[in-house]
Amino acid sequence: MNAPQPYVLYALADGVATLTLNLPAKLNPIARELQVELRDTLERIRDDRAVRAVILTGAGKAFCVGADLSAMAPGGEGKSLGAQTAEWMQSLSNPLIETLRTLPVPVVAAVNGAAAGAGVGLALAADVTVAARSAYFYLPFLPKLGIVPDLGCTWAIPRRTGRARAMGMALLDERLGAEQAVQWGLIWACADDEQLLDEARAIAQRLARLPAHAVAEAREAFEAAERHTLAEQLHYESERQRELIDRPTFREGVSAFLQKRPPSFPGR
């Protein structure tokens, strides 16, 4: 009897872990089983010091098309579909996004095709998002289903593009192509389809050479800026420098600069 196919493929090379959503026949919907397997894999990565960067991509023609609507049906215990969905999101989907956002290593999303619905939130949970030139981002929630964008879309999109463009994406039922997504600041870059994974690996390898604490510091600094006044953020920056300048990584960076060589930082 053949073993069941994993919902998430895993490969590790040169400190870069590649996670591939593996329901290509359905265009990688964010099924419950896939979410469980993806979160378990991310938790293992959290504890694996051999991993210094992560690539998240999809098998086949799509990155992730969001919820599998054909599989959504009320369960037992007299709960409505809405109540059941909210419970699944709060126990599984929301923690998945938070796990991605708090990994101790940088995450690169390589969007190889459609990123639709919750798949957009998944793609934007990465630290750096790159897309194939043929890829697109699409929010069908309100115009097609009468529900709000989820998995962090309403948090991430206005922070990247501004509220006007976020509202347009939410309401106008239009696909946003990869090149326009770059122009809007939604994602970092796009690449020719056949070069996408090579581009993602090159970025991930660069990120893997960073000081081990760099990604966490960057996330925290930019998120602090969202809630601070300028004076508060200036104070925050100076307090972080108080600690970080006394670390060995700063001394190595200065030595490398003076010696005109690339810095060499230890792993986490």
pLDDT tens sequence across 169-224? 999 999 999 999 999 999 999 999 999 999 999 999 999 999 999 999 999 999 99
pLDDT score at 2: 60
Query: Is residue 146 pLDDT above 60, yes or no?
Result: yes
122, 139 contact by CB (below 8 A): no
Cα 136 to Cα 171, 178, 240: the distances in Å are 16, 5, 38
Name the residue with higher pLDDT: 256 or 77: 256
Separation between Cα atoms, residue 267 and residue 252, nearest integer Å: 14
Q: How far is CA 39 from the centre of its chain?
A: 13
Burial level of 88, CB count in 10 A (0-12/13-18/19+)? middle
Share of the chain above pLDDT 90, in %: 91
pLDDT score at 57: 98
Cα 89 to Cα 22, 73, 189, 237, 255: the distances in Å are 21, 15, 30, 35, 48
For range 255-267, the mean pLDDT: 93
pLDDT score at 68: 86
pLDDT score at 76: 65
Query: Which amino acid type is present at position 261?
Result: R
For range 235-253, the mean pLDDT: 96
Cα 181 to Cα 149, 165, 196, 221, 243: the distances in Å are 17, 10, 15, 24, 37
Confidence of residue 4 (pLDDT cuts 50, 70, 90): confident
Tens digits of residue pLDDT in 109-142: 999 999 999 999 999 999 999 999 999 999 999 9
pLDDT score at 61: 96
Phi, psi at 189, each rounded to 5°: -160, 165
Query: Is residue 92 pLDDT above 70, yes or no?
Result: yes
For the chain, give the secondary structure using H, E and C. CCCCCCCEEEEEECCEEEEEECCHHHCCCCCHHHHHHHHHHHHHHHHCCCCCEEEEEECCCEEECCCCHHHCCCCCCCCCHHHHHHHHHHHHHHHHHHHHHHCCCCEEEEECCEEECHHHHHHHCCCEEEEECCCEEECCHHHHHCCCCCCCHHHHHHHHHCHHHHHHHHHCCCCEEHHHHHHHCCCCEEECHHHHHHHHHHHHHHHHCCCCCHHHHHHHHHHHHHHCCHHHHHHHHHHHHHHHCCCHHHHHHHHHHHCCCCCCCCCC
